[in-house]
Amino acid sequence: MKGPRGYQFAAFRRSRRLMTSPRLWRTRLVFWAGALAIGAISAAFAHVADLAQGFFHGMSGQHGSEWQYLPLLVTPLGFIFCAWMGEVYFPGSQGSGIPQAIAARALREDPDKGGYLSLRMVFGKIALTVVGLGTGASIGREGPTVQVGAALMQQSARIGGMSHSRGLILAGSAAGIAAAFNTPLAGVVFAIEEMSRSYQARTNGTVLSAVIIAGVASLALVGSYSYFGYAHHTAAFPGDWPLVITCGVIGGALGGLFSRGTVWLVQRIRRWRAGKSRWMLVAVAGVAGLVVAVLGVATGGLTFGTGYEQARLAVEGTHLPAVFFLAKFFATLASTVSGIPGGLFAPSLAVGAGLGSTLGVIFGSSITLAAVLGMAGYFAGVVQAPMTAFVIIVEMTGNHDNVVPVMAASMLGYGVSRVLAPHPLYHALSRLFVADAIRRRRAIVHAATPAQAAE
């Protein structure tokens, strides 16, 4: 039997082997390089996306200018181009990217995962999202960054010979959201709550490491900043709590309707297009693009793009037009079901800020506070991840004094949304991608069977 010294010596030898093993160091270096790549690519993606959005606004001009109706042509054509390229050359790139990352974690076969997490997909997702923003789509880059992060980490795992790919996909997704929003804590919470719906002790260190390294790379490139400025107004008890409750309930109801409507429309469109030519794809994308263009022109360009600027103005105390949140709601819905790549995070936060701004005027409360609470209620209603919602919003607005009110609005929004939409949006959409992968696998097997039989 070994004594205490024997056990200590054996533990020391194991630790020394772990520290000096070339194979393990190669794995660590590849993993760290992957996390750094996520941070760097996320920062570059954000910069290019902002340039594309600025180009569109400059091209379309201001309300009352001679170019204000140009989006009625450019936006539908942009939608058709992005949807066609996604269908033909980058299948699986459609929509947010978060459902694809969730689907990849659920799939067992590497070829099935690779369909959604390849380097080809990384290029297509970024390029088509940028084109979408450059033609006025109401989309964001955060969801695509999640898919890009998961893909880069998956590729790093293959190079480094790493196992536990489900955990690495989780880590890449968390690193992507942390780098996209410059909110490291939100990346960890998002991975636990939204991507996995459970806490996995085996992968917690991997997730934290990826988030920290990607965050450092992003900070080195773009610096530290608060995404929507700083919300200095703090909710008072009991005076502001009717506003907290209203933002949570109405925001959650509107978010639940968006979630349920999106899933219903996507399913109906897929069934309608099944077995038909790709001209049906063109028709859906063109109609959706025209809806987005009409809403954008009617609101003087307010609903085009991510909605960052509008949300930031609301958080800083500027009242947004009452029609903004409704127009942005439908523009985002049309963009989401159109089949083009693009995320929901930023447009959803803009809708919530517009809703809160309107409710703030009705209640005679601070626009800043109301915008933050509206974002919490609506965003939690859309994604049904209340912890992610309040952590992201608190980190992005830089006011930790409002943690409890924002948390309350998020939980109310989540509860109301669950009544209207029992299945969380991203997980409901991920099942469609899982089904697609299974169908492709069966088609390959059936195609190979006659040849094998002839041999």
Instruction: Kindly report the average pLDDT of the chain as a whole number.
Output: 82
Residue range 31-55: mean pLDDT, rounded: 86
Alpha helical stretches, state H, 279-401 = 279-298, 308-315, 324-337, 345-363, 367-383, 386-397
Tokens of 371: 């915008």
**pLDDT at 234 (0 to 100):** 74
Using the predicted structure, report yes or no on whether residue 17 has a pLDDT greater than 90.
no
Judged by average pLDDT, the poorest of 109-113, 170-174, 371-375, 439-443 is 109-113
Judged by average pLDDT, the poorest of 256-260, 267-271, 396-400 is 396-400
261 pLDDT band (50/70/90 cuts)? Answer: very high
**pLDDT at 285 (0 to 100):** 95
The domain ranges of the chain are: 25-222, 241-434
Burial class (CB in 10 A: 0-12, 13-18, 19+), 112: buried
**pLDDT at 289 (0 to 100):** 96
**pLDDT at 1 (0 to 100):** 47
CATH architecture classification, 25-222: Orthogonal Bundle (1.10)
DSSP letters for 47-97: HHHHHHHHHHHHHH--TTSTTTTTHHHHHHHHHHHHHHHHHHTSTT--B-S
Contacts of residue 40, Cβ cutoff 8 Å, sequence gap at least 6: 217, 218, 221
Residues 333-380 have pLDDT tens digits of 999 999 999 999 999 999 999 999 999 999 988 899 999 999 999 999
* Per-residue exposure over 409-420, b if at least 16 CB sit within 10 Å of its own CB, e if not: bbbbbbbbbbeb
Using the predicted structure, report yes or no on whether residue 245 has a pLDDT greater than 90.
yes
Asked whether the beta carbons of 443 and 409 are under 8 A apart, the reply is no
Tokens of 367: 């626009």
Q: May I ask the CATH class of domain 241-434?
A: mainly alpha
Q: Which residue has the higher pLDDT, 7 or 152?
A: 152
Output the CA torsion sign for 429, 381, 175, 124.
positive
**pLDDT at 201 (0 to 100):** 46
Residue range 195-211: mean pLDDT, rounded: 57
**pLDDT at 171 (0 to 100):** 77
**pLDDT at 25 (0 to 100):** 61
Cα gap 370→360, rounded to integer Å:
5
Contacts of residue 64, Cβ cutoff 8 Å, sequence gap at least 6: none
Residues 213-236 have pLDDT tens digits of 666 666 566 555 556 666 667 777
